[in-house]
């Protein structure tokens, strides 16, 4: 067991919890701790109870989300489970997965002032605190803005600011960067580190984007598929075990790309003596690099037989009929001086697999709302199936186009998972037996059958996302649009979901994905549209975007780390090509050795 360098601030002792109406507990007999004055990271597969654990730390569970709780959660000698939520507010502040669930007012200024006004803070102090936290999160010019006018990423920043303004000692965040662009994500992680180093805050968070976070993390807790703590310790200790320990080879955890590549390479070649020896030496390592590039490259060079490979996207562009065509498209929200969409020029054809990317506030979500006639009137031209949108029949539009929302809760209309899918088939004309069969098949396909009697709103964020996608797939639209589809998904579920999208695309469905995940773009898209400041900066194949540094910079995009990893390896083994796609790089590295 590792020796901790920080004091324990919260300790969970034999904690169990079951939501009202659930036969089985979320977890049973859970034991773990969180360290004071550092970043504590909670990892685990989708649906393993990470969010529930966070909610228990500030009393939301079981005081708001009711159920049966057992055990103890110790905070400075007192049991949190015996306290009301209001008793913990002065110590613990929380930022939810969906920031809109915690907003109480209409403007940024009022939202940040809300808690302070309830504490009767002086007006001067309120003003100075608001200015301070807005500068900290990079939103200083948005003080007077309506919350409804903000992008998803901007709303997340304001949610973080609303907790910071209360000066809570412990800050809990549930996937705070899931909807942020690469630049904003870096800013948030740097902010969290600053809160620890400069202000002595304790951070507890659930997060899938680990690329820039692990070096800022002091303590890591890992839950397994059986909802038990299977690993706990420093970031280096946990990461080394997740990559090299055979005991955790099937544990569904998102890791930075280079570690995923190496882990899958080792697992695929675990009967090769030299690979086994490398794995065991790295697992036993102390204080050295978790992945010594020179050693890995040397081993690979000894084992590999090299062959040519296509390093571009695995998809092939197939010209088809025009599905969506925008020319000079513009839109301005009422009350805002600047238009969100200034000039959008794009063309999407049938059977395309399109990724729409760009910084927070670039206009991606607004474009979708205009396309679905939620926002109108628009300027310029937007044609669907060759016909101007404002003359396109709404029923036909919603029959042919399916939209999976950024926040899954926004599209739920029933109180049971099973009923949610049945509702999608309400006007399908199918018989009841056929409906029941299709719904059951879809529940099993998306690993939701065991949750069929549960409320959609009580699912984990990853489960909610899978349910929202399943509900849309049941009705068989010709064009499927997904807004941040991998938000809240663990590694296996994300890959399964995107492979399903690829299958549908091969069957003729046009797929449009709005995302910040450039690894997803590299692995699946055959066309990329970059929006920046309400304009189209790029429209073309994914391999070209990464050579267009102007569009990358304006879109605040992050080049997939598989590219830097492949180039790093190439400095030792010149035969290794450069890869944008993690999947294609992994396959290549495995195949080169297996061919021996």
Cα–Cα distance, 300 to 303 (Å, whole number): 5
With CA atoms as reference, report the closest residue to 483 among 465, 503, 505.
465
Residue 477 has pLDDT above 90, yes or no: no
Rounded to whole angstroms, the Cα distance separating 459 from 437 reads 22
Query: Residue 485: what pLDDT?
Result: 83
Domains observed in the chain: 8-236 (3.40.50.300), 256-303+564-592 (no CATH), 322-558 (3.40.50.300)
CA angle, 177 as apex, 257 and 568 as ends, to 5°? 25
- Residue 319's pLDDT is 62
Q: What is the pLDDT of residues 339-362, one digit of tens each?
A: 999 999 999 999 999 999 999 889
CB of 202 within 8 A of CB of 171?
yes
Give burial (CB, 10 Å; 0-12/13-18/19+) of 578: middle
Full-model pTM: 0.84
User: Is it the case that residue 312 has pLDDT exceeding 70?
Assistant: no
Q: Does the pLDDT at position 328 exceed 80?
A: yes
Confidence of residue 490 (pLDDT cuts 50, 70, 90): confident
In this prediction, what percent of the chain has a pLDDT beyond 70?
A: 96
Which of these, 19, 13, 10, 31, lies nearest to 77 by C-alpha position?
10
What pLDDT was estimated at residue 593?
92
Phi, psi dihedrals of residue 431, rounded to the nearest 5°:
-75, 160
4-8, 316-320, 324-328: the lowest-pLDDT one = 316-320
In angstroms, rounded to a whole number, what is the distance separating the alpha carbons of residues 413 and 419? 9
Query: In the chain, helix, strand, coil percent, each to 5?
Result: 45, 20, 35
**268-280: average pLDDT:** 95
For 428-515, where are the alpha helices, taking DSSP H only?
432-445, 461-473, 491-506
Pair type for strands 170-174 and 92-95: parallel
The H or E element that residue 292 is part of is: none
Mean pLDDT of 531-555: 91
The answer to whether residues 344 and 329 touch, using CB atoms and an 8 Å cutoff, is yes
- Residue 11: the pLDDT is 97
* SS3 per-residue string spanning 539-591: EECHHHHCCCHHHHHHCCCCCCHHHHHHHHHHCCCCCCCCCCCHHHHHHHHHH
Looking at residue 473, its pLDDT comes to 83
Q: How far apart are the first and last CA of the chain?
A: 40
């Amino acid at each position: 067991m590792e020796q901790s360098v920080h004091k324990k601030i919260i300790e969970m002792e034999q904690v169990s919890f079951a939501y009202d109406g659930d036969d089985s507990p979320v977890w049973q007999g859970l034991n773990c701790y969180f360290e004071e004055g550092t970043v504590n990271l909670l990892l685990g597969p989708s649906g393993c109870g990470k969010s529930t654990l966070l909610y228990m730390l500030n009393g939301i569970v079981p005081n708001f989300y009711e159920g049966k709780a057992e055990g103890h959660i110790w905070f400075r000698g007192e049991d949190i489970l015996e306290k009301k939520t209001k008793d913990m507010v002065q110590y613990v502040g929380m930022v939810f997965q969906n920031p809109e669930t915690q907003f109480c007012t209409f403007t940024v200024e009022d939202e940040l002032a809300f808690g302070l006004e309830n504490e009767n803070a002086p007006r001067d102090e309120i003003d100075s605190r608001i200015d301070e936290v807005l500068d900290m999160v990079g939103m200083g010019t948005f003080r007077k803005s309506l919350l409804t006018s903000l992008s998803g990423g901007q709303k997340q920043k304001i949610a973080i600011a609303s907790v910071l303004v209360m000066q809570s000692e412990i800050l809990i965040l549930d996937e705070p960067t899931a909807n942020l662009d690469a630049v904003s994500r870096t800013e948030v992680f740097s902010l969290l580190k600053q809160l620890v180093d400069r202000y002595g805050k304790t951070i507890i968070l659930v997060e899938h984007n680990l690329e820039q976070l692990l070096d800022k993390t002091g303590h890591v807790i890992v839950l397994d598929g059986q909802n038990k703590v299977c690993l706990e310790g420093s970031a280096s200790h946990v990461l080394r075990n997740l990559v090299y320990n055979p005991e955790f080879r099937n544990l569904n955890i998102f890791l930075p790309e280079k570690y995923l590549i190496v882990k899958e390479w080792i697992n695929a070649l675990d009967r090769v003596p030299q690979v086994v020896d490398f794995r065991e030496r790295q697992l036993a390592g102390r204080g050295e690099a978790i992945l010594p590039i020179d050693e890995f490259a040397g081993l690979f060079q000894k084992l590999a037989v090299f062959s040519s490979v296509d390093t571009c996207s695995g998809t092939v562009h197939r010209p088809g009929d025009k599905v969506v065509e925008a020319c000079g498209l513009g839109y301005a929200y009422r009350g805002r001086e600047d238009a969100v969409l200034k000039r959008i020029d794009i063309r999407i054809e049938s059977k395309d697999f399109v990724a729409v990317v760009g910084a927070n506030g670039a206009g991606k979500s607004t474009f979708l709302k205009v396309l679905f006639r939620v926002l109108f009137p628009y300027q310029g031209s937007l044609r669907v199936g060759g016909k101007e949108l404002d003359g396109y029949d709404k029923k036909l539009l919603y029959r042919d186009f399916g939209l999976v929302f950024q926040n899954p809760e926004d599209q739920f209309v029933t109180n049971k998972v099973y009923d949610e899918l049945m509702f999608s088939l309400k006007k399908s004309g199918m018989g009841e037996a056929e409906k029941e069969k299709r719904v059951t098949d879809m529940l099993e396909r998306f690993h939701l059958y065991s949750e069929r009697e549960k409320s959609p709103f009580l699912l984990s964020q990853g489960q909610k996302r899978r349910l929202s996608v399943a509900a849309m797939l049941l009705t068989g639209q010709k064009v499927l649009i997904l807004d941040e589809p991998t938000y809240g998904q663990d590694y296996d579920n994300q890959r399964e979901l995107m492979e399903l999208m690829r299958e549908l695309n091969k069957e003729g469905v046009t797929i449009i994905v709005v995302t910040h995940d450039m690894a997803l773009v590299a692995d699946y898209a055959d066309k990329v549209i970059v929006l920046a400041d309400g304009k189209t900066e790029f429209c073309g194949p994914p391999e070209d975007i990464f050579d267009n540094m102007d569009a990358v910079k304006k879109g605040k995009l992050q080049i997939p780390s598989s590219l830097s990893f492949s180039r790093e390896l190439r400095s030792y083994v010149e035969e290794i090509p450069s890869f944008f796609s993690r999947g294609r790089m992994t396959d290549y590295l495995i195949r080169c050795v297996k061919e021996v």
